[in-house]
Amino acid sequence: MTASLLPVATLGTPRIGPRRELKFALESFWAGTSDEKSLLETAAALRAANWARQKSLGVSVIPSNDFSLYDQVLDTSVMVGAIPDIYGWKGGRVSLATYFAMARGAEGKAHDDGCAHGHHHDQVQGAPAQEMTKWFDTNYHYMVPEFHRDQVFQLASRKPIEEYEEAKSLGYQTRPVLIGPVTFLKLGKSADPAFNPLTLLDGLLQVYVEVLRELSKCGAEWIQIDEPCLVLDLDDATRAALRHTYAEIAANVPGIKIMLATYFGALADNLETALSLPVAGLHVDLARAPEQLDALIAKISKDIVVSLGMIDGRNVWRADLTAMLDRLDFAVKNLGRERIQIAPSCSLLHVPIDLELEDHLDLDVKSWLAFSVQKISELATLSRALTMGRESVVDALAEADQAAVARETSTKIHNADLARRVTAIDEAMRRRGSPFAERVRVQRASFGLPAFPTTTIGSFPQTAEVRNARAAHTRGTLSDTQYREFLRQETARTVRWQEEIGLDVLVHGEFERNDMVQYFGEQLSGFTFTKHGWVQSYGSRYVRPPILFGDVTRPQPMTVEWWRYAQSLTDKPMKAMLTGPVTILNWSFVRDDIPRSEACRQIALAIRDEVIDLEKAGARMIQIDEAALREGLPLRRAGWKAYLDWTVDSFRLCSSAVDDTTQIHTHMCYSEFNDIIDAIAAMDADVISIETSRSKMELLDAFKSYKYPNEIGPGVYDIHSPRVPAPEEMKQLLTLARQRLSDSQLWVNPDCGLKTRKWEEVRPALINMVAAARELR
């Protein structure tokens, strides 16, 4: 009977291991405490366990080459020999040393440097790491390929072939996964801005054809080629490149069947292009874009296998299986059973591995969730229901129905008082008392700061001592009183030191905070946290995103007490530090039963209450970080305005309840500001600090041409690097800033929080920063 079950496919699964085995193996190898052999053995064991787990859960189309030691885009760069000269590769097989130099920088000094927000740009003596950026609109980061005009591609790693053969030797017929050539070129960059990487396509295709031929020879029947660029706004040249690519593959590797995978959005105006390609199968994302099913059914040719991405591969909610079956019945009726596969919407890389590991979650909340293992089981249930009738899975469907109903009505999720409060939001709540031109006069008179005032972004180094104390407190070996006393001493020492070196506006250092989102989520209702819900951010850096499951309220003040203590230690202004609503939202798994904009507005009201309480306690400078505002932008331009409208609205809602004399600061991580400068101006923060040191202040051009009126702190110290810049270097950066903005607008600060740096780097760097500002005065 099972032989004819509707095929269940996965596009990729988490590679980190249920207990983070990959992280510990990598870090041990990098530290020199284990050798290459044991790292590769751990990797092979993880792959074998992954294949076995999928088979036992009912997956019939199992992927291979979805595993990576660091990143799948880096694997592709290495496969095609796109290895910049700086890494000293001379051809032949690429060594692990070269691979990790590209990932982390070379010379043994390499270590993952992230700013407080988990961005990462290693700078090491010798060869720096490749640049890293977000994979589409996810919170996963990939290593950006580098291309140049006379780029020569060659097969430099047989990883896809080796992992296919490895699976085969264990008894699994897999579908190898490759990143599509067009997406790969579009994800890359060139030092020459006028150069278009798509001109390299023909050379690249030769390597792809070679890989596909080898896979075919080894017995692979189907290959999954991922072209998520098909959900972006594409120009005609890119569409032509896609047609050329798949025509070449069809002509040169006739025996192989291609499953073209698209995900993270709708094909929309690229549907015709996708349907014109000579491929055997097409995967579409019906979690992000359920509306595209009808158009697909109407237009797809009769001989193409359709992979329906039903289960959301990017969020952690249990599926409503009955509703899904109704939609699948419609698809089966119109497409025919023999040409359908069911799958998650995208790779399951973006969700945690197994909900069963969580033994402390609220049981109701747990019953509404599904991680990777559970999502695969849901697909298996759908497959059985479609093949053998719903009565064959009656218990599983009843359980899913029950969870859906409970979630819809639970008082743990829905708060009537909050609903009334949201309805009552009016225009006045989103507007400061006076325009900036009037506020700035009052603020300058009130603070009496010198020209080029100096400050930092908020966090100070979280040393091993700080982390150990937190761990001891979590374990219960350090009492509440002892931990609190430890934190007070750390804070007092940091405040005193800032005074000694002459900073104008101080911060308390944030030693009590584990993470800029988790710290707030743990104090707000509507959030829950996992113990093992790790997801890969990049390389060996994994995060456990908060799960936002219900209405968000703030039961009591979250930061007032620490701010009050820090301010009591000094006469200088002490900034209060908050994480903004958009960043809290974008770095969490967000409930899917209300629009994201609505969830964001709820968080904004909670932060607004905190801002009001801080002002009542005497805080006159309040910083609300929106590190992740830009990275949440929709993949297509058409969606930008709506997103920026509600995100700016949420920021104004949380920041506008204060007096004219209270100065609202915000901080944004490395971003291109040109295309969102209107939105930044609309936020109406009194002071914005931004990361600019690496761009040599070029990011300020956007503010200059816009005639941005409010105050700006352009970063003059790159905190992603252990290097300590000299006062002269910072002065040069400030001189560049002064060419773009008026002196009265400028603040002087580092690029980002200092949480990940060491005190021995931070001390001299900040002393130099203060010296540079004084010289300018």
Beta strands, E only, 75-126: none
**How many Cα atoms within 13 Å fall on the side-chain side of residue 159?**
30
Other Cβ atoms less than 10 A from the Cβ of 394: the count is: 11
Pair 532, 357: CB distance under 8 Å? yes
CA distance 654 to 664: 10
State the DSSP H helix or E strand holding residue 133, giving kind and residue range, or none if neither: strand 132-134
CA distance 140 to 696: 27
What are 322's two structure tokens? Answer: 């009955």
CA distance 667 to 623: 8
720 catalytic, yes or no? yes
CA distance 673 to 168: 49
Residue carrying the six token digits 């040069």: 732
Phi-psi region of 333 (alpha: psi -120 to 50; beta: other; left: phi over 0): alpha
Dmax over Cα atoms in the chain, in whole Å? Answer: 82
H helix intervals, 175-309: 181-187, 201-218, 236-252, 271-276, 292-299
Query: Which is nearest to 590 in space by CA: 546, 554, 560, 630?
Result: 546
- Exposed e or buried b per residue across 46-62, where buried means at least 16 C-beta atoms within 10 angstroms of its C-beta: bbeebbebbeebbbbbb
Phi-psi region of 588 (alpha: psi -120 to 50; beta: other; left: phi over 0): beta
Residue carrying the six token digits 């104090």: 523
- Classify residue 125 by its DSSP letter: S
Q: Is 504 helix (H, G, I), strand (E, B) or coil?
A: coil
Report in angstroms the alpha-carbon separations of 743 from 80, 330, 579. 50, 65, 28
Would you give the end-to-end CA distance of the chain in angstroms? 82
* CA angle 484–489–490, rounded 5-degree value: 95
Looking only at the bridges linking them, the beta strands covering 525-528 and 547-553 are antiparallel
CA distance 312 to 379: 11
CA–centroid distance for 642 within its chain: 21
User: Which of 283, 665, 667, 720 is an active site residue?
Assistant: 720
Which residues are 747's β-sheet partners?
Answer: none
CA distance 77 to 120: 19
* Contacts of residue 622, Cβ cutoff 8 Å, sequence gap at least 6: 575, 576, 578, 611, 614, 615, 655, 658, 662, 663, 664, 665
What are 457's two structure tokens? Answer: 């972004």
CA distance 163 to 66: 9
Pair 99, 69: CB distance under 8 Å? yes
Pair 200, 147: CB distance under 8 Å? yes
* Contacts of residue 535, Cβ cutoff 8 Å, sequence gap at least 6: 14, 16, 139, 140, 349, 350, 351, 352, 542, 543, 544, 545
CA distance 53 to 40: 20
Which residues are 342's β-sheet partners?
Answer: 8, 308
Please report, as a single letter, which amino acid is at residue 290.
P
Residue carrying the six token digits 């995900």: 263
Residues annotated catalytic, as ranges: 720
